[in-house]
Amino acid sequence: MPVLVVAGTRPEIIKLLPVMQTARARGDMAVELCHSGQHADLGREILNAAGVVPDHLLERPQARDTAALLAGLQANIGEVINRMKPRAVVVQGDTATTLAGALAAFHRQIPIAHVEAGLRSHDLASPWPEEGYRRMVSAIARWHFTPTPAATEALRRENVAQEAITHTGNSVIDTLHWAVSRLDAEPALGGEAARLIEGAKGRNLVLATVHRREADAQALGRIACGIRRLAEETGCHVAMPLHPRAESEILSEALSGHPQIALTGPLAYFAFLQLMRASRLILTDSGGVQEEAAALGRATLVLRDVTERPEAIAAGTAVLVGHDPDLMLAEARAALARPLPAPSDVFGDGRAGQRIVEVLARDL
């Protein structure tokens, strides 16, 4: 009986790819991939580049809100589990697919492996609903694969048994190393970024992404104001791939047409990495982007009030600026005046997939 890996959004695909690749390369642990359809398009190109075809490709459920989405995903993933009867279900992170996959397994008494376990902001409202989702998965998982020592500590404080926890590092770094070497060998893979990089015309390139639900209309207005001032007052060029959420309209209305701000749709992963590598500074509320920025040695302004990833902040390469335009500008000026930070392995050494698969192969 194979192990079922469940993914549905771009970050889950990026962070579960090393588990799929490692298991397949070893050849002694059969794995199947179930794509829940939560983000139907984002992430497809990376699966193609890795030569991974989902064994179960589901349709995104029609859902008017997050509760209905969770219920629909759980029902759909449950049907796959019923047919396949996996030995274990692997989920990653804190999305609706993560919790739905875990609940679908729990109801069938199938053991759950949680990749990127133990991240905590300690605020159920931020990020919402992710902080609640990851705490719920921790309550029912059998294996907890932690990205950092702080995540291990958080689980220990919640009385998760030490034997159930393995510190692996974050698998995002495994995928980053794989993708960077692919890009170095074949720069055309990131071709979509060339226009954005050339658009900077020698100015400092600043990359910005925003997608969290806490960034409501008022927050997006303040972020847009900060980005406009950043371009005008520091003379930099901002590239901003917009997330396909409806609220991104607010950013495009506020910023489109500005000669030093290039807005674009979501970029393919290789192009996005190419853009990160060409950037002098990164503004983001994304978890994965913070981790990749640290590994690539890029200073980061985190557009949030709390974080479950304090490591880069403690290392001095990232700073929390919330949605405050004055703070964004002050911290951006300071970061642009400093040399690029050294690449850091605070989020992992690129061997998380190997550690995860070793534990699963041992226990199953």
Shortest Cβ 201–ligand UDP spacing (Å): 22
The phi-psi region of residue 128 (left if phi > 0; otherwise alpha if psi is between -120 and 50; otherwise beta) is beta
Q: Does 190 bind ligand UDP (CB under 6 A)?
A: no
Binding to ligand UDP in span 297-356, by CB under 6 A: none
Is residue 133 packed enough to be buried (19+ CB in 10 Å), middle (13-18) or exposed (0-12)?
buried
Shortest Cβ 263–ligand UDP spacing (Å): 12
CA distances (Å), origin 62, targets 59, 83, 295: 9, 22, 37
Which string of b and e fits 12-45 if b means at least 16 CB within 10 Å? bbbbbbbbbbbbeeeeebebbbbbbbbbeebbeb
Q: Which of 87, 213, 258, 277 is catalytic?
A: 213
Is 116 in the active site? yes
Is 213 in the active site? yes
The sign of the CA dihedral 213, 218, 222, 227 is positive
- Nearer to ligand UDP by Cβ, of 174 and 331: the residue is 174
- Nearer to ligand UDP by Cβ, of 16 and 81: the residue is 16
> x/- string (CB under 6 A) for ligand UDP, residues 227-266?
--------------x------------------------x
- Nearer to ligand UDP by Cβ, of 225 and 267: the residue is 267
Q: Does 148 bind ligand UDP (CB under 6 A)?
A: no
- Nearer to ligand UDP by Cβ, of 7 and 110: the residue is 7
3-class DSSP string for 66-107: HHHHHHHHHHHHHHHHHHHCCCCEEEECCCHHHHHHHHHHHC
Is-cis flag, bond preceding 241, omega within 30? no
Shortest Cβ 193–ligand UDP spacing (Å): 10
Do the bridges between strand 261-264 and strand 299-302 make them parallel or antiparallel, or are there none, so unpaired? unpaired
Q: Which of 12, 45, 130, 292 is catalytic?
A: 130
Q: Does 209 bind ligand UDP (CB under 6 A)?
A: yes
First to last CA, the chain: 10
Q: Does 100 bind ligand UDP (CB under 6 A)?
A: no
- Nearer to ligand UDP by Cβ, of 39 and 86: the residue is 39
Shortest Cβ 300–ligand UDP spacing (Å): 13
- Nearer to ligand UDP by Cβ, of 266 and 353: the residue is 266
Q: How many CB atoms lie within 10 A of CB 122?
A: 10
CA distances (Å), origin 64, targets 60, 133, 307: 12, 19, 28
Is 130 in the active site? yes
The amino acid at 109: Q
Are 8 and 73 in contact by the 8 Å Cβ rule? The answer is: yes
Look up tokens 């705490």; give the residue: 135
Binding to ligand UDP in span 261-300, by CB under 6 A: 266-267, 269, 272, 286-289, 292
Is 243 in the active site? yes
Site for ligand UDP (CB under 6 A): which residue of 4, 5, 11, 100? 11
- Nearer to ligand UDP by Cβ, of 130 and 331: the residue is 130
The residue ranges that bind ligand UDP (CB under 6 A) are: 10-11, 14, 172, 209, 211, 241, 266-267, 269, 272, 286-289, 292
Mind telling me the catalytic residues? Answer: 94, 116, 130, 211, 213, 243
